[in-house]
Amino acid sequence: LTSLENMLFGMGNPLLDISAVVDKDFLDKFGLKPNDQILAEDRHKALFEEIVKRNKVEYHAGGSTQNSVKIAQWMLQKPHKVATFFGCIGKDRFGEILKKKAEEAHVDAHYYEQNEEPTGTCAACITGDNRSLVANLAAANCYKKEKHLDLDSNWELVKKAKVYYIAGFFLTVSPESILKVARHASDKNKIFCMNLSAPFISQFFKEPLMEVMPYVDILFGNETEAATFAKELGFETDDIAEIAKKTQNLPKENTKRQRVVVFTQGKDDTVATVGDRVTMFPVLDIDQNDIVDTNGAGDAFVGGFLSALVQEHALEECIRAGHYAANVIIRRVGCTFPEKPDYH
């Protein structure tokens, strides 16, 4: 089993999720809606200083790609360090916490550390069942290919992997790093996976996205992202199976592997291209009352999927593992999980 060490490589925006229970006054003070996701502006500076002073503050390592590789590691349990993770943090207390949290999750994180910008954070302001998320990329936005990815010791870790996963969010940070990894995977007939991540990626970062697309072996996304992507590419259809098919048929560099497209749709069936067909996979049933927080469900699905993929399981099995992981995560606050999976 030790052969699985560093088999999975992830690169993305490492953020420290800071969650605390707050009151309505706190939300009003910073002009927040109870249930929302926004990027931090200047007026939120004091929010981050205040939230850490509250009692019962919880720190969780976050960021989409990091969440996914962490879930993959959790699903596999042993050996440790199946996943390598690269991203940029600051030389500060939050950076130290991120390092500690990655270690506790047994992820082999190698961060590029710089002191221009502080470690990226995401404040989760919780009131009852609601959470208002305020993300501040900061250091995560400072990843540099030549300062980190290109270093021999780091590139050796990239070469060690067989499966690569990078969320679309990282296209806003370092498309040249993504391309270097994607080309390596393609040249060596290894598996490169990507995520559409959010509608704004297809809308405003279409150029870098399409530059990487020929190297993408497995593409993930949800129904909203799929629809936006189709619109941006002029597919002229809103049928998700048709979108999956057209996406699969986009130009591909490594012809030894047919592209696989996987679109999740919340409680509705997951749509996936299986060979030349498009197949629907029903998700696990869950009582609406058991859903605590669907945030992180997409990251968890990918994490479960990747855990089966690194073991070279069939696509159907990868999707089943993804559905299991997502089902566990939506019963809990944030992208957190119990000590061990109960998955067979």
- The strand pair at 36-39 and 191-195 is best described as unpaired
Mean pLDDT of 235-241: 97
Confidence (pLDDT) at 203: 92
- The strand pair at 121-127 and 130-136 is best described as antiparallel
Residue 294 has pLDDT above 80, yes or no: no
250, part of any domain:
yes
Residues, the chain = 344
Has 299 been annotated as catalytic? yes
Confidence (pLDDT) at 275: 92
Element (H, E) at 263: strand 260-265
| pLDDT classification of 57: cutoffs 50, 70, 90 | confident
Residue 55 has pLDDT above 90, yes or no: no
**SS3 sequence of 226-257:** HHHHHHHCCCCCCCHHHHHHHHHCCCCCCCCC
40, part of any domain:
no
Confidence (pLDDT) at 120: 96
Confidence (pLDDT) at 205: 94
More confident residue, 341 or 114: 114
d(Cα 202, Cα 26) in Å, to the nearest integer? 34
State pTM to two decimals.
0.91
DSSP single-letter state for residue 283: P
Confidence (pLDDT) at 20: 87
Q: 């509608």: which residue's tokens?
A: 199
Confidence (pLDDT) at 2: 57
Which pairs with CB-CB distance under 8 Å and at least 24 residues apart come from 45-51?
47/123, 47/125, 47/134, 48/18, 48/121, 48/123, 48/136, 50/26, 51/18, 51/20, 51/22, 51/123, 51/125
Residue 300 has pLDDT above 60, yes or no: yes
Percent helix, strand and coil across the chain, each to the nearest 5 = 45, 25, 35
Q: For the ranges 57-71, 102-116, 328-342, which has the lowest average pLDDT?
A: 328-342
Confidence (pLDDT) at 334: 65
Number of domains in the chain: 1
Percent of the chain with pLDDT over 90: 74
| pLDDT classification of 286: cutoffs 50, 70, 90 | confident
Contact 14, 66 (CB under 8 A): yes
Mean pLDDT of 314-328: 96
36, part of any domain:
no
Chain-centroid distance of CA 132 in Å reads 19
Q: Other C-beta atoms within 10 Å of 220: how many?
A: 30
Catalytic residue among 17, 217, 293, 299: 299
- Following CA atoms 315, 175, 99, 220 in sequence, which dihedral angle do they give, to the nearest 10 degrees? -20
d(Cα 284, Cα 306) in Å, to the nearest integer? 18
Q: 């990894």: which residue's tokens?
A: 181
187, part of any domain:
yes
Cis peptide before 282 (omega within 30 of 0): no
Residue 1 has pLDDT above 70, yes or no: no
Which domain, by its residues, includes 263?
8-14+62-119+137-330
Percent of the chain with pLDDT over 70: 97
Mean pLDDT of 282-295: 80
More confident residue, 92 or 336: 92
Instruction: Give the domain CATH number at 270.
Output: 3.40.1190.20
251, part of any domain:
yes
